[in-house]
Amino acid sequence: MKNPIALTFALACLAGVSFAAEKKRVVVCTVTTGFRHGGSIAEAEKTLPKLAKESGAFEIVEFVRQPDAPKIPQRPRKPKALAPNASDKDKARYADDLKKFEAENAKWTPELVAEEKAAKEGFDAAVKKSLAALSPEHLRAEKIDAVIFADTTGDLPLPDKEGFIKWIEDGHAFVGMHSASDTFHQFKGYGEMLQGEFKTHGKQVPADLVAGDTSHPANAGIGSKWDLKQEEMYEMKDGSHDRSKVHVIWFLKHPPQQPDKAEYAAVSWCRLAGTGRVFYTSLGHREDLWNDDPALPGRINSPETSKQYQAHILGGIKWALGLASGDATPNPDVK
């Protein structure tokens, strides 16, 4: 056999060596410095490994998790000031609360202040140590293909924020779920990469989602419409979501809290950032979207809806990793 590559392949096959492509390598981050979705984060940390194993498409090589919270002494909170039209009953309650506050606050010795400061500094240092796994050097050294932000919040102390965005733009993948858009409000580069910054949400409501692309992997074969019985639907800050820069996958035809008002409201999209791929879904607040166990306490969305959500995020992950084909061309005219 004159071809050495063919000879090597033939010998390897005889020896039972597999030439299957290596699985894509993924890091999942669930660290928060703002509001923490404890329940949904716990479900995400169970569901994402399950999807990785069942699909065989990728492997989660590392979880960047929240360090254990230290026991920080809790300072008493001064009662909220009374309204000008407060009743006599409210005034009496305020006077009683103020008296309790002053008594507790008097117990705050310099030693307690120092203990509080040390505990906070120790926790902040632990958070930074955890997030060191997202440094561009570490991501490249470990040959990471994608980073997932599952319900992260706040301004995470990444070792190199600009370098992290550059890593994505250099051909890697970023996937964000739910409050990933409530992350890095003070870092413009992140918002431009994601193309969506959380502004607010109202009460949990039914959601009548409309597909912007029925053939995209993150549509997951659900079709042209997808009705959720209940979810916390986000509204994005004005100017943070440029439809000319995203490929819409799911959206609402009205603001979440105003079903009678005709207006586009973003829910899920994908885009290219440099040569990197970005997928985001604002869905993922409720535990019964992540978890398809019929016996899950407090279930409102059906197990079938949970499986659709899992297929939705799996399709988005596979697209971001280049394992499933789908359009990323901006489609600002979808209605």
Domain positions in the chain are 20-70+120-320
- The lowest-confidence range among 49-53, 85-89, 145-149, 229-233 is 85-89
CA nearest neighbour of 231 among 295, 269, 288, 180: 288
pTM of this prediction exceeds 0.75: yes
Cα dist from 152 to 15, 44, 141, whole Å: 46, 11, 24
∠ CA 78-82-88 to the nearest 5 degrees? 120
Cα dist from 116 to 70, 71, 256, whole Å: 10, 9, 41
- According to the CATH classification, is domain 20-70+120-320 in 3.40.140.10? no
pLDDT at 195 over 50: yes
> Model confidence over 241-298: pLDDT tens digits?
999 999 999 999 999 999 999 999 999 999 999 999 999 999 999 999 999 999 999 9
pLDDT at 110: 84
pLDDT at 335: 84
Buried b (16+ CB within 10 A) or exposed e, 304-331: ebbebbbbbbbbbbbbbbebbebebebb
Element containing residue 21 per DSSP (H, E) = none
CA nearest neighbour of 303 among 288, 283, 314: 288
Residues 6+ apart with CB under 8 A from 264: 243, 251, 252, 253, 335
107 C-beta neighbours (distance < 10 Å), count? 10
Buried b (16+ CB within 10 A) or exposed e, 17-27: eeeeeebbbbb
Please give the Cα distance from 108 to 131 (Å, whole number): 33
